[in-house]
Structure 1
Amino acid sequence: MIDIDEIRDAQIQAYGLSKANCIYTFYHDETNNIKKLRLDAQGLNVAEPAIFILGGIVHEGMPRPLDIQPLRNAMRIQPSADEIKLKHVAKGEFLELLKSEKLITFLQWISENGLVVHYHALDPLHWSLVDIMDSILYGIGQPRLMQFHAVLKADLTTLLRVNLAATMEVFFRYNYPDVATKNQRAFVDELLRLLERNGDVLPEFNAMMLKGVLQAGRNLPNLDFIEGFTPHLLLENFAAFYLNRIAIFKYSNHILDMEDSIRDELDAMQLSSHGVPVTHFRFADSKSEPGIQVSDIVVGLIGKMHSYFAQTPREKVAKARDALQGTSLKNVELLKALIDASHDTNVAFLHHISSVADVDKMNLFLRNGGSPYEDL
């Protein structure tokens, strides 16, 4: 049995969440659930893991009817379509989606109906790598370095993405994330060699700082967070991210698209609050839940957006943003307004477990102020 209050209290304290007790109704869908991320001698089971998104739409208060027939009519969805999906609104990758007039109608409908978006974005590759830097920084124990932990993790992710096949060959050889203590110095030496070969993908100062931290790491007696786990298993499942949302917003209602594997994993956890089984979430068929249908489109759009930032250099993102006009520009402005409204409503609605360099690209594209990555 898992007590959700232990998870909830830790998150509230860590992030200063002041509105976790508010009552909302969440509709959830997901995209890019690869089930597992693991290694074998040929590399990753998924060649280029896309960004996993769990999210959708949310409104204040208890569940209320959502009439999407006017939206279907406005977007000229055929009556034969028993539910609406992203393919009915726009097709292609992120920049192609932005060219859709129907997407304008869709994004406007969300805000006009008292709804905002919510999402949890997870980069499976970044998630799999951060324990390396956490191990080193924990071992070094210098508070001054800790202020740069997010940037150092982002730089390591950028470096190891350059030649993912070579990176995964090293990881497989050392049984990552179960690198034996006796092999940890050699493992870090391999990372330093990758930095020597591909360090030009980073700003010069960032590369120098990363090199210095890795060199310090190779001299540590052990790296606690990359030993003792299942060899070659980088991500076991995505149920924990569902659990996190359900736990934080325990006074809210959560209506989730039916995913048999996730349902079974949550059932096996026997979730409780102060010893009482929790009942504030349920799985439903999207055909009977308009909120889930709308959420399908939201997570599809957000997933393609974040995957675009993860796969595209910052310079190209900047050029693409400068070139936007017409429908594409309008859609970006509407998307930014929705994301801003979500943040203003509750900062916990938007959560990223991804490289701060990629979040910086999102801020650049949406014209959000400041760049914590560049301020190093």
Structure 2
Amino acid sequence: MDVNEIRDPQIQMFCLSGADNIYTFYHDETNNIRKLHIDDRGLNVAELKVFILGGIAHEGRPRPIDVSTLRQAMRIQDSADELKLKHVAKGEFMDIIDSSKLEIFLQWIANSGFLIHYHELDPLYWSVVDIIDSILFKIGVPSLIPHHALLKSDLAAVIRRELPFAIDLFRRYDYPGLASENRKPFLNELIELVQRNAGILDRTMNAMMLKGILQEGRKLEELSFIEGYPAHKLIEEFSAFYINRIAVFKNSEHIMDLEETIRDAFLKNPLTDAGEPVTNYRFADSKTETGIQLSDVIVGVLGKMHTYLSNTSAEDIEKDRLALSNTALKNTKLLCDLITAPDSANQAFLHHVASLHDIDKLDRFLRFPDGRYV
């Protein structure tokens, strides 16, 4: 697998600058469910949470990272052989945002000159976007293509609203491996789902546009991304997201927490750069890599935050935000600054595979200075 075939289209499509710069990235992950399948009981996981791959980064090659002052400030016992989120804060997002230790940690990260980087993946959103892509780029209506992200976001919203029904629908029609004779019945039930939940979308026009796209899909001879694939297998593995980060920043060094399934995927499909083996990454034990320990805390906080955003209405998020005070308010500002800094330094540091509605919720909660999260 040549990394240039992965990175070059992204650099061109998103006008990424700075991908050739030299950084050191430390990577950890949270909410890796390994696989997302449908069986007779529903999903193979009890609760869908947002997957985060990310951590800290700094310019240049690897350098020593001394966290002794941080551990002292947070009063972490010497018996703790590594720093993890549980030493900083516990509970769900609205619990940990009020943690004084989290404030110490975030301020230390900011003062130490580290940038944060992360890839966010909403597994539900990722599992349903192919429905829109199978239709939108085949029906020959160029004026609708700029709305592709909104259409996907609206579809994910109505599916999340009636998730048990949607999962049963996918099971009954062997999604994403529809048979050709099931194309119209499947889309008919999706259209009914949109009609029942049109009120949750921002505007009547949104519902009409989404319904119209699904109706146009009934006229196609094939839904290329959701026909002919293995039935009931929504996500098979997560190694592609690791590979993507290494490919985009091929001149940087990547130090990753050892996940055996990810390591095995790399061994199975070695990366190359113009025919030469890629050697800019390694897997390491977090106990020996302080940067991975810091990344554990970062991705843990971000995973809880994005899961909270995906599961909470915009109205309730506004209420929660207005109720913040003291430590929680300081931590919200620190998170906002830590996310703004890498986006300003190098926009390739942050990558979201998520609903536009949930990204808007991120702005509602953190309140970015320009009033809009990019």
Shorter-chain TM-score tier: over 0.9
Q: What does residue 39 of structure 2 align with?
A: 40
Identify the residue that residue 170 of structure 1 maps to in structure 2: 169
Work out the CA distance in 2 between the residues paired with 1:342 and 1:371: 15
For residue 362 of structure 1, what is the aligned residue in structure 2?
Answer: 362
Q: Comparing 69-78 with 201-210, which one deviates more in the overlay?
A: 201-210
**1:29 counterpart letter in structure 2:** D
Classify 1:120/1:313 alpha carbon distance in 2 versus 1 (closer, same or farther; 3 Å).
same
Identical-pair percentage: 56
Matched positions, count:
372
- Residue identity in the other structure for 2:147: F
Out of 49-58 and 269-278, give the one that drifted further: 269-278
Where 1:119 maps in the other structure, the secondary structure is strand
Amino acid at match of 2:241: F
* Residue of structure 1 equivalent to 2:329: 329
Matched to 1:297, the amino acid is V
Partner of residue 81, structure 2: 82
Residue of structure 2 equivalent to 1:61: 60
Q: Name the SS for the 1:230 alignment partner.
A: coil
Q: Distance in 2 between matches of 1:47 and 1:100?
A: 28
Instruction: Structure 2: give runs of 5+ residues left out of the alignment.
Output: none
Is residue 212 of structure 2 the alignment partner of residue 226 of structure 1? Answer: no
Quote how far apart the aligned CAs of 1:29 are. 0.2
Aligned counterpart, 2:49 = 50
Which residue identity does 2:289 align to in structure 1?
E
What is the Cα deviation at residue 199 of structure 1?
Answer: 2.4
Say which SS state the counterpart of residue 343 (structure 2) adopts: helix
CA distance in 2, matches of 1:137, 1:323: 42
Partner residue, 1:129: 128
Question: Structure 2-normalised TM-score?
Answer: 0.97
**CA offsets per residue over residues 70-129 of structure 1, 9 Å max, x none?**
100000001111111111111111111111011111011111111010000001110010
SS in 2 for 1:58: strand
**TM superposition shift of 1:133:** 0.6
Q: Which moved more, 1:91-100 or 1:22-31?
A: 91-100
Question: How far, CA to CA, are the matches of 2:213 and 2:277 in structure 1?
Answer: 46
Deviation at 1:134, TM superposition (A): 0.8
* Letter matched to residue 287 of structure 2: K
Q: CA deviation at 1:196?
A: 2.5
Query: In the TM superposition, what are the counterparts of 1:255-334 in structure 2 within 5 Å?
Result: 255-334=255-334
Whether 2:227 is the aligned partner of 1:242: answer: no
Aligned position for 1:144? 143
SS in 2 for 1:147: helix
Show the 5 A alignment for 1:67-106.
67-106=66-105
Deviation, 1:186, is 1.0
C-alpha distance in 1, partners of 2:98/2:178? Answer: 47
Residue in structure 1 matched with residue 156 of structure 2 by the alignment? 157
Structure 2 distance, partners of 1:191, 1:94, is 33
Secondary structure of 1:120's match?
A: strand
Matched, 1:5 2:8: no
Greater mean alpha carbon deviation, residues 203-212 or residues 99-108: 203-212
Q: Which amino acid aligns with 2:169?
A: V
Give how far 1:344 is off: 1.1
Report the residue type matching 2:284 in the other structure. Answer: A
Secondary structure of residue in 2 paired with 1:148: helix
The structure 1 segments of at least 4 consecutive aligned residues displaced by more than 3 Å after TM superposition are 369-373
Tell me, in whole angstroms, the C-alpha distance in 2 between the residues paired with 1:91 and 1:335. 17
Contact kept, 8 Å, 2:359 with 2:373, in 1: the verdict is no
Structure-1 residue corresponding to 2:182: 183
Q: 1:110 aligns to what?
A: 109
Q: Please give the per-residue CA displacement for 1:243-267, whole angstroms capped at 9, x wherever unaligned.
A: 0001000100000001111001111
Distance between the aligned counterparts of 1:289 and 1:97, measured in 2? Answer: 24
How many angstroms does 1:220 deviate by?
2.1
The 2-side partners of 1:64 and 1:172 are apart by 50
- Taking a change above 3 Å as real, the CA distance of residues 86 and 35 of structure 1, as seen in their structure-2 partners, is same
State the Cα distance separating 1:169 from its structure 2 match: 0.8
Equivalent position of 2:347 in the other structure: 347
Which amino acid letter does the alignment assign opposite residue 222 of structure 1? E
Give the Cα separation in 1 of the matches to 2:2 and 2:28: 24
Task: Name the SS of the counterpart of 2:90 in structure 1.
Answer: coil
Distance 1:352 1:331 in 2: 22
C-alpha separation between the residues in 2 aligned to 1:364 and 1:138? 32
- One-letter amino acid of the structure 1 residue matched with residue 240 of structure 2: A
Instruction: For 1:225 and 1:370, locate their aligned partners in 2 and report how far apart those are by CA, in whole Å.
Output: 36
Tell me how far apart the structure 2 counterparts of residues 228 and 4 of structure 1 sit (CA, whole Å). 28
TM-score (norm 1): 0.97
- Where structure 1 has 5 or more consecutive residues not aligned to the other structure, the ranges are none
Q: Distance in 1 between matches of 2:284 and 2:372?
A: 40
Does structure 1 residue 29 correspond to structure 2 residue 35? no
| 2:18 aligned partner | 19
